[in-house]
Amino acid sequence: MKKNRVWLIAVVSFLALAHARAQDSGLWVNPNQFKAAPAEKPAPPTPTEAGEKKAVYAIASAIGGQLNYIVAKQSVGSNLDPYERATLPVPDYSLDAIVMRGIDRVVARRFPETDRVFMRLNPSQLEGVLPPDRERVAFERLIAELQKMPERASWDRIVIVTPHYRGFERAGLGSRMHGVGVFVQGLNTDSAESQGNYDVIEPDGTPGRLRKNNYIALYYYAKLFILDAKTLQVLEEAPWLIDEKINNTSSDAINIAKSLTIEQLSGRLEAFAEKASSDALTRTLGGVVVPGEIKPLPPR
């Protein structure tokens, strides 16, 4: 695992997209830092009356500044964790930036006549918080910071994304996973207990053949919330478990973790996390985010 850790440090260094000094406050706000042009051509702008105020969407990420790395290992006892785990800090605001770019693409496409404000929760707000509690704590601390912001009065909606924890195995991935990370399955799992074949892609994104094992999976376990900006009332929420499995058939590496170059893995991770954010928000939207229309969820 030590060699894998060194390799992973090199990967996360490639993800340092934003270079801003650390903030001491709980919430870092920048209206322009993470803005990106939409991938698709946006819908034609809706005509507005002269002088009419644009709707404002705030996009807040609490995905945080850490990348999770999990490697399947041969089980040597029923009470032992069958996975090796590592968590590394990602420099600057990289993961939050990637996530917010994906969400911004959806908002820009669906609501082109809007302004956006971008925010991230200071990762120090989640230091020492156990993985099963990170979703709840991140949401609560984001809300606490937002309550201090009088500028919310001029906003319409807030889209919040937090890590989401799942303790069980699913879709050929490991257990106790959350946030954004990398899962390495290099074991032979052709036993009767193996779950089946999974769609796998090549490093360039082209389809590969179905596989039961020997892949590197990028995963996105996140929870999205859509709030009314003025009241902070939750209008919609949904957890999303999204992954992308990669196998490089042109590599002769014995260790599947080394079958991708640092550049290949960091590039795929960036593209994957941004697209996963876009897909998650697209699926979450249910007509409840139109400014001026409030449809609260039933009590939880």
- Residue 207: strand, helix, or coil: strand
**19 falls in which pLDDT band (50, 70, 90)?**
very low
- Residue 284: strand, helix, or coil: helix
Provide the strand spans (E) within 152-277: 157-163, 165-166, 177-185, 215-228, 234-246
For the chain, the residue count is 300
End-to-end Cα separation, the chain, in angstroms:
42
Q: What is the DSSP letter of 107?
A: H
Each residue of 249-273: pLDDT tens digit? 888 888 887 888 888 888 888 899 9
Query: pLDDT exceeding 70 applies to what percent of the chain?
Result: 73
Backbone phi, psi, residue 257, to 5°? -65, -25
- Residue 275: strand, helix, or coil: helix
- pLDDT of residue 36 exceeding 70: no
Exposure string (b/e) for 120-141, b if CB count within 10 Å is 16 or more?
bbbbebbeebebeebbebbbeb
More confident: 27 or 40: 27
Q: 166 near 221, Cβ under 8 Å?
A: yes
**Segment among 74-83, 161-170, 173-182 with least mean pLDDT:** 74-83
More confident: 285 or 55: 55
More confident: 247 or 49: 247
Q: Which of 61-65, 78-82, 90-94, 221-225 has the highest mean pLDDT?
A: 221-225
Q: Are strands 66-72 and 165-166 parallel, antiparallel or unpaired?
A: unpaired
Tokens of 126: 């989640």
pLDDT of 160 reads: 96
Q: How many other CB atoms sit within 10 Å of the CB of residue 214? A: 17
Provide the strand spans (E) within 186-214: none
Distances in whole angstroms, Cα of residue 231 to Cα of each of 154, 157, 237: 12, 10, 16
Mean pLDDT of the residues in the chain: 78
Tokens of 53: 């105020």
Report the distance separating Cα 215 and Cα 217, nearest Å: 6
Give the DSSP H/E element, type plus range, for residue 115: strand 114-121
Q: Are strands 157-163 and 114-121 parallel, antiparallel or unpaired?
A: unpaired
- pLDDT of residue 123 exceeding 90: no
Mean pLDDT computed over 128-154: 93
Mean pLDDT computed over 140-154: 92
Each residue of 192-205: pLDDT tens digit? 344 568 889 998 88
Mean pLDDT computed over 269-290: 80
